[in-house]
Amino acid sequence: MTAFDQRIVRYFYEAVAAWNLDETVAGNLIGVSPRTVHNWKIGPFAKPSEEVLARMMMVVQIRTALDIGWSTTLANEWISLPNTGDPYQGLSPIAYVAEHGWPGLYYILRQVQARAVGN
């Protein structure tokens, strides 16, 4: 695994910790089992697939955009808060990803990045 890949994994775990997500929810975000998330966390591991690394990178970018656009408290809670706006319809962003998979994750990334830069 490259040093860049290792940083993506490390920053992914930092986002998961900041958002106080359990391994089930963290795995849901990137399309892997909770066991895989746990195994990667505790020791040496095989390189995640390119798709999983891309999803991890989206999570890292979401966290970065939230940190830019919101207070620390809101940035850490937003991902789990119910949202009445479109397209969430009362779901939290985490629940939205659970229902829509990586396209939902990508939608959230675009949304928070746009807000972070003032659009």
pTM for this prediction = 0.91
Average pLDDT along the chain, 119 residues, taken 10 residues at a time: 85 95 94 90 79 96 94 94 90 94 94 87
Predicted local confidence at residue 44, as pLDDT = 65
Separation CA 13–CA 24 (nearest Å): 13
Task: State the total domains in the chain.
Answer: 1
Predicted local confidence at residue 39, as pLDDT = 86
Separation CA 59–CA 67 (nearest Å): 12
**Is 19 within 8 Å of 79 (Cβ atoms)?**
yes
Predicted local confidence at residue 90, as pLDDT = 94
Predicted local confidence at residue 3, as pLDDT = 83
Predicted local confidence at residue 5, as pLDDT = 84
What is each CA distance from 13 to 8, 18, 23, 48, 119, in whole angstroms? 9, 9, 10, 14, 28
First and final CA of the chain: distance in angstroms? 36
Instruction: List the domain range (segments joined by +) for residue 45.
Output: 3-116
Predicted local confidence at residue 46, as pLDDT = 74
Q: Where are the alpha helices (DSSP H) in the chain?
A: 3-18, 23-30, 34-42, 50-69, 72-77, 93-116
Predicted local confidence at residue 114, as pLDDT = 93
Separation CA 9–CA 100 (nearest Å): 23
